[in-house]
Structures are given as C-alpha cells and as structure tokens.
Structure 1
Amino acid sequence: MSVATPSPTRTRSVHPVDERLPTGKLAVYGLQHVLAFYAGAVIVPILLAGAIGLDERELIHLINADLFTCGIASIIQSIGFWKVGVRLPLLQGVTFTAVSPMIAIGLAAGGGTDGLLVIYGAVIVAGLFTFLIAPFFARLIRFFPPVVTGTVILIIGIALLPVAAQDAVGGAGGDPTNPRNLAYALGTLALIVAIQRIFKGFMATVAVLIGLVVGTLAAWAFGDAHFGGVAESAWVGVTTPFYFGWPQFSAAAIISMIVVMLITAVETTGDVFATGEIVDKRISKVDIARALRADGLATTLGGVLNSFPYTCFAENVGLVRLTRVKSRYVVAAAGLIMIGLGLLPKAGAVVAGIPHPVLGGAALAMFATVAVVGIQTLSRVDFNDHRNIVIVGTSIGLALLVTAQPAVAQAVPSWAEIIFGSGITLGSITAIGLNLVFHHVGRGRGPAVAGRPGADSISLSQVNAMSREEFVATFAALVQGEGWVAERAYDRRPFGDTQTLRMALQEALFAGGVDEQRTLMQAYPDLGGLGEEAGADSAAEQSEVGLTRLDEESQDEFTRLTGTYRERFGVPLISCVRDIGARERVLASGWERLSNSDAQEHATAIIEIAKIANHRFESLVADANPISAARTRSLDRAGS
C-alpha cells in the first residue's frame, strides 16, 4: 500500500511594497515621513493666507485642514481602491505649483474668505477634470522613456536642494552667516550619515528621524527651538466641509487651476517612475492612471475640506530611497498620523517647533538622494546618441536658470509665469517637448539606415539595392568585421523593415558553424585591454563603463580574469558591458562564467555577441529598437 506524499505548499513571495510591518515599526517609520514632510506641507497655506489677507484663526484652520486632507490623500494613494491609488509608498501633499495661481485667483476675487471661495471652486473642478482625464494622460507613457523620466527626477532633486539650503540657514529671512544655524544643519546631516554608516537594520532605517529628534533637542538646549505655540493651541480642531462657505465658480480661475493640474500630472508621473525605480517595480500606464486619479480625487476632496490641490511629494521619495523601507503601509501609517495631527492642533504645534536648520540638514540628504535616483535612471540612456545629450542638457540648464534666478518669471507674459515660475515645471516640459521633437516628430518619413559616423544616411530602399559587397562592408562592423554573418543575411533581402533586417543578421549569426563562431570570437578584444586593433565600436562600448580608464589595480584584476578565461576556454572573454553596467559587475559576471561547461560558455559567448551587435545595429539603423516600436504600436492601438 503506497502512502501519498503531500505536495509541498508553495509560499507566495510578497513584494517589499506590499509587506505588512509590525505596528511599532509602522508607527516609527510613519512618524519619520511626517516629520520630514511637515514643513513642506504647511508652507502653502501659510503663504496663501498671508498673500490674500486671512487672519491667524483662519490660517490655523487651513493648516489643520491641510494636514487632515494630506493624511486621507496619502492613504488613498498608498492603499488604493478600485482604480484609484498607485499602491506605492508615495505620500501626498499640496503642490507648490499652485501657490502663485491661487494667490492671483484669490486677489482677483477681492482677497480674504471671498477669494478663498473662488479658489475652492476652481480646485474642485480641476480635481474632477484630473480624475476624468487620468486614463487618457496615462496613454502618453510612451513619451516618458528613461531620457525623460531620468531628467525629470534629476531636476526634481536639484530644484528642491535650494529649499533645503534655505531651511539650513534659518528659513526665509534667515541669516546665512549665523554659525549656529550652520552647526544645526550640518550636525543633523552628519548624524544621519554616521548612523547610516555605523548601524544596520532598524537603526539605519530611522536615521532621519533620529537626526531630527537629536537636532531639535540640541537646538532646544541652546534656546533655539521654541514650543510656546503648544500651550496656545487647542486640544481638538475638526475641519468641516465648506467651513468658509459654499465655493464660487469662475471660468478664468478654473482654467488656470486646470493648467496647474496638467503640469502637476507631469510631476506626479516623474515621482511615480522614481518610486518604481527605488522599489524595483515596473510602472505601466495603468499605474500612472491610478496615481493621477488619486491626485484628482484628493484635490476635489481638498476643495471640499478647505484645502488645496494635491500631488505626490518628491521630498518623501528621497526618504524611501535613503531608508530602503519600501512598504506602502508605512505611508498609510504616516497618513493616519497626519489625520491625527489635523484633529489635534497641539500635536501639530509640537512638530511645528522643529527648527528650520534641523529640517534643512535632513532635507539636504533626502533631496540629493532624489537627484541620485535620476542619475541612476539616466545611466540606462544611450549618450552616444547626441540627441539624448541635447535633451538632458537643455532641460537641466533651463530648470537651473529658473531655480537660481526665480525673478525671470517676471520677464515673460503673465500666461507663461506658471511655467517659468518653477524649475521643475519648466525642466519637465522641456524634456518632454525635446523628446517629442528628436525622437517622435518626423518618424513618418519612413525607416532609414544611418551610415557609420561621418557618412551620409542610407534609406532602407538603398540598402535593398546594395550589392553584396556594399552590404557586407556596411553591416560586417556589427560583428567585428567578420563578413560571413552579413553575407548570409544578404540572401534574405529585400527587407520589408528594419526589424526584418535585424532578424536576418541574428539568424545568420546563430546558424553559423562552431568553427566559424569560434573564429568570430577571436576577433573581439580583451576587456580592459584595448589595443589599436580593437576598433572604434569596442573602444566606445568599453569606455561607457570605464574600462578604458582603469587604474593600475583594476587593470591587474581584468588582466587576471581575461587571462584565466582565455586559458580555460581558448577565446577572449566577450561581454555586452553596456547591459551589465558597472565594471565591478563586469568582473563578477566574468568570474561566474568560468564555472560554465565548454558548450554552455560557447552559447553564452554567442549570445553576448548578439547583444553587442544589437546595440551597434541600433546605432547604425534609425528607429531600430523593436521593443520600443512594439510598445509604441500597442499603445497607439490602445489609444485609438
């Protein structure tokens, strides 16, 4: 009698984004997000109240309403329901892009609470508009390749650094020459870095929280942190819908706020891509649509609950990267804490007592980390393509112009001030626009094949008309000048499109005999050991990951690896270094491949040759990326 063996149960792995942490950790991590976020959260109602003439009592209500609604919006975005909320660790806050337009709307309506009611009418309609257009905006995701998203993320980080710097010297009107302010800021930053270096695990993940607490205590000990507002604040303060009266609707105000939300949608898209990069989760058009619906719903809710337009807060994106705590439930916990602060003015007053220099020191680390995420994204961009250099360089240049010289917004017509009033806005729009101009506009002219550097472009029809000798001379460079691959691909002509041409070359490579393939392998140079015979393509590829600029120690490591590999397999070590990235990973990959069997390593080397040839093909042949093209066609069909 046989005994049935129970099948092993399969445990479904949980993505770090969906990990449910213990309650204690959720509370601590959530509080860290709130403390890092607080100053940016309350600055918009403070600026607006002062500009349109609201009194102190009305300002306090605005701050409480802002925090309360921030909490709800963050829970919607991180937890999500139906098709609303991206379900990533993204904290929601009032967008700074809306400050100038809201002030203009409020003053045009007479200021005070009368102006506030017109602002709320515009906010409610703009929120509904954003909610409804979210799926249509998301279909534009093909216009956000790494060259755009990386640039936008980098600009967000760079443009936020002056905000951190202003806090570090004491906030608006602070004294940059005050040594205490500098000491608090640099001390907080140094403590965060030290904790990250010395500790691991839980302590390292709450480094920002510890830095803020210790920095505040130090400032309080020297008399530079004040909590007098705690005694003056009420214990409970509840915001009620339409507290200031029923909203008023103005067509001009609504149009202005819709423009704000369209610009904010671009920034939200950048933040979602940045967070996806950090938590290692692929972002699709569905995710963008969910995030924008959450923005729209939160903005509409803000107009009802006496708050303002909402967007994903880039400040907290940097905190996720810095702490490496990826759970979205941490942001949900932060949302609950903010709801509590909105209902307990005394608790909010305690948080408000954190000195500006202490916040500035922590913000320097977080905002710079956002910029690093942008650099990480841009590392996947082909900068051998001069078009990408123009896109990134121009966008960053214009963003920094506005960031360093904000008064330039006054030199443009009033309708353009909303764009020139923010480095993030101007830089993002520039990146998107230039990507359209360089990579999308004019693609209908038909596929074309570009010659080698310095040669004239060659159309696909001309390729089909080439003689065998011309074809081999043009395409043998894809495989180090070995002609047999191009010879056999030529027999597949005429080519209907560039992908058919690519497939013919690939099939010829993989169908080659073993001896032919080994002869081809011998034509490739050693990694990190380039000579004059290596060729311009190999030199450029190895240069991208620094293999042409090795120091003496690294050169010895590569020499030892390639020598061992050649002794083991009898051919050079061939790797598509552009796909692997950093030279440390190139080394690690090479040593791992030494354990392969001869047959497996032969196949691996041919695959690496194919990868190298694919990259060269994309440089040689215009619009030759089949994955990008397929994605574009798919999205075009979805949008039609």
Structure 2
Amino acid sequence: MSATAVAPTRRLVHPVDEVLPAQKLAVYGIQHVMAFYAGAVVVPILLASAIGLTQEQLIHLINADLFTCGIASLLQTVGIWKIGVRLPLLQGVTFTAVSPMIVIGLDNGGGTAGLVYIYGAVMVAGIFTFLIAPLFSKIVRLFPPVVTGTVITIIGVSLVPVAAMDAGGGNFAFANPDKVPPNLTFGSPLNLALSFGTILVILLITRYARGFLNTVAVLVGLALGTFVAAFIPNGAGGTVADFSSVKDAAWIGFTTPFYFGLPKFALLPILLMIVVMLITAVETTGDVYATGQIVEKPISKRDIAAALRADGLATFLGGVMNSFPYTCFAENVGLVRLTRVKSRWVVATAGGFMILLGLLPKAGAIVAAIPPSVLGGAALVMFGTVAAVGIQTLGRVDFTNHRNVIVVAVSIGIAMIPVGTPMVNGTSAFFSQLPPNLQTFLNSGITAGSITAILLNLFLNYFGGKQHDDAKATDKLSIDQLNAMPPEEFVAKVGPAYQGSAGIAEYVAGERPFADANDLRSAMQDRLFALEPEQQRALMEQYPSLAAKELHTGELGDESIIDQAAAGLTFLSEEQQEAFDEVTARYQQKFDFPLIISVRDLSAEQVLDQAWHRLDNSATQEHVAALLEIAKIANHRLADVVAGTEPMAELRSSNMARL
C-alpha cells in the first residue's frame, strides 16, 4: 500500500503582514521617512526657538526626536504584547502639543529650566494615556466632529502667530534687534523675501508636481529656501544659513536619558499635557480606522486600545529620551492610500531609518541650520493647513442645530483671547490680574478652547435636554400630514428621496395610510427592490457621478449637493479631484452606470477608498450594491423632510450612546 504525500496547507498572509523583498522595504521605507521628515523636525525647531534654546541644544533635540520617532513607529507597527495596532502607521510628534509646551517652558523660566517641566508633564501624560487606553473607546463619543473640528481649527489658528514670528526673523531677532546681523533684523525685507519665497515654492510644487513629489512639497520648500539662504550675505560677513555647527557636530552620537536634567513635575503642566493626549487619542482613533479601511482590515476596540497604549508608552519614552508626545502621522496614512503598499513592515523599516538618523548629529545640525524666516514660511502653510482640516471637519456638523453653533463660537472665542491680546511678562494681558496658576492654564488658547468645546458639547448636546429651536426639525412633516396629503403633493414631498424619478413615490402613495414614518421608508424600499431589472437600471442611471464638475454649477439638484457636501466632495484638492475623476470614469466604463455610494456618513478619503474597491466586483454584485446604496441615500433624504424616519439601528445606537 503506497502512501500519498499531502502537501502542507499554506496559510494566506494578509497584505498588512506581508514582508516585502529587502530592496522594496528600503525604497518604500525611505519614501515614508521623506513624507514624514518635515513634520518631525518642525516641532523641536519651533519649541527651541520659542523658549530660547541654543543651536547645540536644538541639534540634540532633533536627534532625540528622530531616534524616539523610530522606536515609537516600531512599537505601533511591530508591537509587543498588547501594545501597538500592528498596522502601517508611522508615529511622530503631535502638533497639538506645540503651544502648550511653549507655554509650560516659558512659564517655568524658559531654556532648559522650562524644558525639564515639559518632560515631567510629558511622562505623566504618557502613563495616563497608557492606562486609559482600554476605557477610551467608551468615551470617544464625547469627541464628535463639533468638538474635534473645533479643536483642530483652534490648533491651526493658534499656531499661526508662532509661524509668523519665525517668518519675520524669529523671537531672538524681535527681542534683540542690536544683536543680529543688519540684514536679519525682525521684519527685514530679506526675512520677508525668504519666508514668502518658501511659501511660493511650496505652492508651485503643490500646483504642478504629481505623485510623491507633491507629498513632500513642504520638505522641498525648506530645502530650497535653506539652499538659497546659504548664498545670501547676512550683512555681518556671513550668510543667512549658517552651517558652521555642522562641521563641529560629531558623526555619531547617542541621546542619553534625561540629557537636559531630571524631569520636574507640576500640576498645571501635567493637566495641560493630559488634555493634549486626550485630543491626540481622538486623532489616533481616526487614523487607525482610516488605515484599517485602506488596508481592508477590520478594527475592533482592542485595536484602538493597542494603538493608544503605543502612543502612551512612546510619549513616556519621549519624556525620558528628551523628546515629546507621539501620535499617528496622518501624512503617512495618506501615503499608504496613495501607494497602495499595505505592509506594516515598510513603516517598520522607516522606523529603523529614523533610529539611524537619530544617531547622526551632523544630520541634526543640517536641519538646525534652517533660517527662522524659511521655517516660518513653511510653518505658515502647515499650520494654515491644520486649520483648513478643522474647517473641513466642521463641514460635517449640523449647524441647523443652534447648540453646535454655540459650541464652536464660544470655544474659538475663548481660544483666541491669549492669541489676540498683548502679552505682559509672557502672559496675556487679559489674564494678568488672575492667580499665576490660573494664568498658566488660560494662557494656552489651545487648552482653554479645547476644554471649553468638550464641556459645552456635554452641557448642551448630551445633558441639555430636548432642543426647541432647531428650525430644521420643526420644518419636518409628520406621518399624519403625509397620510392626509393629495397624491400629487405627497409625491412632490417624498419623491426626491430617489433621484430623478417619482415612480416609487407614486406607487407607495396608493398604499397609505402608514402607521409611522418607518413604515413609509420600508414601503419605498420594498418597491425599489420589486422593480424590474430594467427599471432598476434606469433609476441607477439617474444618479450623478461623485465629485462631478456639475456639482459646482448646481446642475445636480439640491439633494445631490447636500449629500456630497456632507462628505467634503465639494472641497477637494486637485489630486483628490483627479482621483475621483479617474475612478468614476473607470467604474462607468466597466459597469455602464454611475458609481453610487451613500456618502453622508463618510469622509472623502473613505468614499474614494470604497470606490476603488468596488471596481473589483462583478456586474451582478455591483447591481445589488448600487440598489443598497440608493436605499441608504433615500433614508438620509427622507430624514431631511419627514419626522421619525431614522432606521431602528440608528435609533438604538443613539440611545445606547446616551446611556
């Protein structure tokens, strides 16, 4: 009897866990480092400039930052125990922490004296984040778009003055006009030319470059601006960009723990940094979900907890290793989508490269030589972009709810007080008569505005009772009104739920009366799926392309504009617009009807990602998928005009959230 050899079953590897060939890991890893690098080094440069650190200290900060960024990225991508989400997420210093760290540093003496208080607060905030990670998924509902959009907008707007100070020549030039070269006094024509020249380079690259070069526009702007500054006289025998420190810097150096002294702990700095990490946790949660969609891997609460543990541990290590709070970098999430390279080992390789860069003080010295005016020009673009992202997030907020208007208005107003009023001894004049500890808290517009947004949202939207001034809600029709309407009026009211055809509304008009609004919704859905295939196909062809040019001319109708505006499809970058044009054209060519997606609960990135995946489906599957999306679109449109049409699952979810 002969034995039959059975080949061992090969276990399929998810693209996220695939280990690519070494040469691909290196190339793709370097690409991630390039996309990340500008954002990584800007935070230590801004902080050093604001609190008065020396050039040598700045070089050490940059190397410590890069070294710890690499460790943080390995924690997130490779993971240990329950730490790290094991997705292609690159970690970097959060911009949310910049303003609070500057406030903490200046309020505690500036220089290294203030730096040790920053590190004490960072360490405690890291431990706090690590410990609350499993609980955060239960409180993430306290951070809806009205809160996160407001906070992100406040961060961007509050940081613009910091960038403007650098663009004019820097804090040192402003405070010591007699101690800087003649050509580099604050606000000099040369400083302004360099800052606006850097902005112009970034704009030109954004406008004309494609692909990877477009993603590193800020880095190229910094590099070109510094290169030009290296040949311009400063009026005192040297050049604007001074690279003398590069020559003196060592080739290899290691950042030792507590290089600037043992950390010091104070209550208010710790509270400020804990608020920063709560906001950062929301940002990380969004990035994890977005990346999960891109790489087609479901995200659970355990994954969110693992990601936040990595943030917390990396932040604690940042305080030990002379660095700062860490979060997932959204720029690199976009790069994963752009390249379609899903392997987490690519980002792990990028983390390895950053560790190596962190061991090269000469690399840090080159970055430290960037003139303040060049850095300020790039920072104006970056911080303005942060504010624009916040505004885009607020675009998904229902501002017919007057309470949301109040949350945004009051929070931004309070945040702008320290930004828009004169400073007296490092404190806003508005708060100069308050106790010193309270001044420290209120002097950070980001912290004060963020806490205001969180508390107002709780007070008005969660514990504020039923709203009586929502005009949109009072305009909705009741089921009794719809049952009593003449057929023609009924069709005119509910017919637009389905694009370009009143056939479904005309049919269900004869089935009245309905017991409640959800019976009406169900009847319309039943009729949709009972149509002949040819009728269904004709209905599909009535729907407009996503992000079509007609969207801006008003040709798509009010309903389509409302739908697509909710997902930000009316406010796309040129690159995003081209991507939508390409995917919708390919979809139309393959299936011979428009791509239909219910977009109201999605972001533009999520819509685009779903669109690319739908191209892989069969014609039969897409026919069914399109009908399901049409039904979802109709649900939203009915909810706009008819009271009580929310699907039961949404009602249950809303009630559970309240509980």
1:312 counterpart SS class:
strand
Among 20, 25, 40, the alignment partner of 2:43 is 40
Matched, 1:304 2:325: no
Q: Secondary structure at the match of 1:239?
A: coil
After the TM superposition, which of the residue ranges 201-210 and 261-270 deviates more from structure 2? 201-210
Other structure's SS at 1:270 match: helix
Of 247, 265, 273, 1:231 maps to 247
1:89·1:326 contact (CA, 8 Å) conserved in 2? no
1:615 has 2:618 as partner: no
**Given the alignment of the two structures, is residue 187 of structure 1 paired with residue 171 of structure 2, yes or no?**
no
CA distance, structure 2, for counterparts of residue 18 and residue 150 of structure 1: 37
- Partner residue of 1:132? 131
Residue from 414, 424, 430 that aligns with 1:411: 430
Alignment of 1:335-346 (within 5 A): 335-346=351-362
Query: Does the C-alpha gap of structure 1 residues 610 and 489 become closer, same or farther in structure 2, counting only changes over 3 Å?
Result: farther
Could you say which residue in structure 1 is the equivalent of 2:508?
A: 485
Alpha carbons of structure 1 residues 433 and 318: separation in structure 2 relative to 1, 3 Å? farther
Identify the residue that residue 532 of structure 1 maps to in structure 2: none
Q: Distance in 2 between matches of 1:301 and 1:467?
A: 62
CA RMSD of aligned residues (A): 5.8
- The one-letter code matched in structure 2 to 1:215 is G
Q: In 2, are the aligned partners of 1:89 and 1:329 still within 8 Å (CA)?
A: no
1:98 is displaced (CA, Å) by: 4.4
| Aligned-partner SS, 1:69 | helix
Q: Distance in 1 between matches of 2:160 and 2:113?
A: 35
Cα distance, 1:257 vs structure 2: 0.8
Q: Deviations over 1:538-580 (max 9, x none)?
A: 746656769xx9xxxxxxxxxxxxxxxxxxxxxxx99899759
CA distance in 2, matches of 1:221, 1:338: 29
C-alpha contact 2:64 2:323 (8 A) present in aligned 1? no
1:261 aligns with 2:264: no
Q: 1:559: which partner in 2?
A: none
**Structure-1 separation of matches of 2:636 and 2:290:** 23
Contact kept, 8 Å, 1:31 with 1:334, in 2: the verdict is no
Q: Measure how far apart 1:219 and its partner are.
A: 0.7
Q: Verify: 1:23 aligned to 2:26, yes or no.
A: yes
Is the 1:70–1:93 Cα contact (8 Å) retained in structure 2? yes
TM-aligned CA deviation for residue 218 of structure 1: 0.9
**Cα offset for 1:266?**
1.1
Secondary structure of 1:221's counterpart equals coil
Q: Do residues 624 (structure 1) and 623 (structure 2) align?
A: no
What residue in structure 1 maps to residue 447 of structure 2?
Answer: 425
Q: Whole-Å Cα distance in 1 between the matches of residues 293 and 146 of structure 2?
A: 18
Give 1:555's aligned residue. Answer: none
Task: Tell me the CA shift for residue 352 of structure 1.
Answer: 0.5
Q: 1:341 to 1:600 in 2, by over 3 A?
A: closer
Contact 2:442/2:448 (CA < 8 Å) preserved in 1?
yes
- Structure 1 residue 142 and structure 2 residue 141: aligned? yes
Cα-to-partner distance string for 1:284-312 (whole Å, 9 max, x where unaligned): 6545433432232123223433x255133
The answer to whether the 8 Å contact 2:473/2:643 transfers is: no
Residue by residue over 1:461-484, the C-alpha shift from the partner in whole angstroms, topping out at 9 and shown as x without a partner, is: xx7x99953899999833369576
Counterparts of 1:125-524 in structure 2 under 5 Å?
125-172=124-171, 173=173, 177-222=187-232, 223-242=239-258, 253-254=266-267, 256-270=269-283, 272-273=285-286, 281=294, 285-305=301-321, 307=322, 309-312=324-327, 317=330, 324=338, 332=348, 335-383=351-399, 385-405=401-421, 407=423, 409=428, 411-412=430-431, 413=434, 414=436, 417=439, 420-442=442-464, 469=484, 477-479=493-495, 482=505, 485=508, 488=511, 490-491=513-514, 493=515, 502-503=521-522, 506-507=525-526
TM-score, length basis structure 1: 0.67
Q: Cα offset for 1:326?
A: 7.8
1:485 maps to a residue whose letter is V
CA distance in 2, matches of 1:14, 1:79: 14
* Percent of aligned pairs with the same amino acid: 40
Gaps of at least 5 residues in structure 2 are 1-6, 175-184, 233-238, 497-501, 551-555, 571-593, 612-617
**In 1, Cα distance between the equivalents of 2:386 and 2:267?**
32
Structure 2: how far apart are the matches of 1:16 and 1:437? 44
> Following TM superposition, by how much is the alpha carbon of 1:226 offset from its aligned partner in structure 2, in angstroms?
0.1
8 Å CA contact retained: 1:121, 1:254: no
Distance 1:424 1:356, change over 3 A: same
TM-score computed with the length of structure 2 as normaliser: 0.65
- CA separation of 1:29/1:37 partners in 2, compared to 1, >3 Å: closer, same or farther? same
Check whether the contact 1:486–1:505 (CA below 8 A) recurs between aligned residues. no
Q: Give the drift of 1:614.
A: 1.6
Aligned pair in 2 of structure 1 residues 259, 36: CA closer, same or farther (>3 Å)?
closer
Superposed displacement of residue 350, structure 1? 1.7
Shift of 1:216: 1.5
Q: Secondary structure at the match of 2:83?
A: coil
Alpha-carbon offset, residue 354 of structure 1: 1.5
Q: Runs of 5+ in structure 1 lacking a partner?
A: 1-5, 530-536, 550-572, 590-595
Report the 3-state secondary structure (helix = DSSP H, G, I; strand = E; otherwise coil) of the residue aligned with 1:81: coil
CA contact (8 A) 1:164 1:363 kept: yes
Q: Contact (CA 8 Å) 1:146, 1:378: kept in 2 or not?
A: yes
1:605 and 1:206 mapped to 2: Cα distance? Answer: 37
Q: Deviations over 1:429-480 (max 9, x none)?
A: 444444444543356x79x99997656997xxxx7x9995389999983336
The CA distance in 1 between the partners of 2:73 and 2:411, in whole Å, is 30
